[in-house]
């Protein structure tokens, strides 16, 4: 009964929910970017795109956005529990590492609910109108491009986000709370610059590093290495 009668039991339950929701969210994110989008670019995929947009995509987006929501809520609940029950402070290295990943996760959550989902609603409605013999929504292609850029941005962020979450309890010498102010200035500047491309970037900017699956993966890995070196360099 310790699972429901102790604070540490509840901490484990929230972590379990966080894992399940996160796997669901990131799994669907990778499906969209590594499987569905390249398929839509093929001849067969182009023929199936309208039917899939009206039939499969809405269901996938439901799991996608609610996976993001439960990951977001359970993650920040865990942070508050760590700060309260475990006696950790904002200057603790573990909290620094968790917050680095959590900030990227929060940006990803924001992109899902306030960029991708609103844009995809327009895309889906446009496909439904065309299938019913009506006119396409003029804004649909631009909204689809914005949703695609946000989705690629989230995929890119997922690499450093998962690295920092995984390193929280396993890399004690990395981001150990030393020089936190300088670290946060540099790390947040890098993270915000990457996000700004999602919010205001053009199609040309996207092609620089997020125009393909391989480019997105390489950019995500590069961002992970850069943020890691920033943390190591400020703690050496």
User: What secondary structure, in 3-state letters, does the chain show?
Assistant: CHHHHCHHHHHHHHHHHHHHHHHHHHHHHHHHHHHHHHHHCCHHHHHHHHHHHHHHHHHHHHHHHHHHHHHHHHHHHHHHHHHHCCCCCCCCHHHHHHHHHHHHHHHHHHHHHHHHHHHHHHHHHHHHHHHCCCCCCCCHHHHHHHHHHHHHHHHHHHHHHHHHHHHCCCCCCCCCCCCHHHHHHHHHHHHHHHHHHHHHCCHHHHHHHCCCHHHHHHHHHHHHHHHHHHHHHHCC
Q: Given this model, what pLDDT does residue 87 score? A: 66
- The upper half-sphere exposure of residue 109, i.e. CA atoms within 13 Å in the direction of its Cβ, equals 20
Q: Given this model, what pLDDT does residue 132 score? A: 94
Neighbour-count burial of 10, counting CB atoms closer than 10 A to its CB (0-12 exposed, 13-18 middle, 19+ buried): middle
Contact of 83 with 95, CB cutoff 8 Å: yes
> Rounded to an integer, what distance in angstroms lies between the CA atom of residue 34 and that of residue 32?
6
Q: Is the pTM of the predicted complex or chain greater than 0.85?
A: yes
pLDDT in single tens digits along all 236 residues of the chain = 677 778 788 888 999 999 999 999 999 999 999 999 999 999 999 999 999 999 999 999 999 999 999 999 999 999 988 887 666 777 788 888 899 999 999 999 999 999 999 999 999 999 999 999 999 999 999 999 999 999 999 999 999 999 999 887 777 766 666 667 888 999 999 999 999 988 886 555 555 688 899 999 999 999 999 999 998 876 65
Distance from the Cα of residue 122 to its chain's centroid = 21
Contact of 135 with 129, CB cutoff 8 Å: yes
Angle at 212 between CA 208 and CA 217, to 5 degrees: 90
């Amino acid at each position: 009964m310790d699972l429901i009668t102790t604070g540490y039991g509840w901490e484990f339950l929230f972590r379990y929910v966080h894992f399940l929701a996160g796997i669901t969210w990131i799994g669907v994110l990778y499906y969209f970017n590594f499987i569905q989008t390249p398929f839509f670019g093929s001849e067969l995929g182009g023929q199936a795109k309208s039917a899939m947009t009206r039939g499969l995509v809405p269901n996938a987006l439901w799991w996608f956005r609610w996976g993001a929501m439960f990951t977001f809520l359970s993650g920040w609940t865990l942070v508050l529990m760590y700060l309260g029950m475990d006696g950790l402070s904002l200057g603790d290295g573990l909290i620094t590492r968790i917050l680095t990943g959590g900030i990227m996760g929060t940006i990803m959550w924001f992109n899902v609910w306030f960029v991708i989902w609103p844009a995809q609603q327009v895309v889906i409605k446009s496909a439904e109108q065309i299938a019913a013999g009506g006119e396409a929504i003029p804004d649909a292609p631009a909204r689809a491009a914005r949703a695609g850029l946000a989705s690629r941005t989230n995929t890119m962020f997922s690499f450093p986000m998962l690295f920092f979450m995984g390193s929280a309890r396993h890399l004690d010498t990395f981001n150990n709370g030393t020089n936190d102010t300088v670290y946060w200035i540099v790390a947040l500047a890098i993270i915000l610059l990457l996000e700004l491309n999602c919010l205001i970037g053009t199609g040309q900017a996207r092609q620089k590093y997020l125009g393909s699956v391989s480019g997105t993966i390489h950019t995500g890995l590069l961002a992970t290495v850069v943020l890691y070196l920033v943390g190591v360099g400020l703690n050496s």
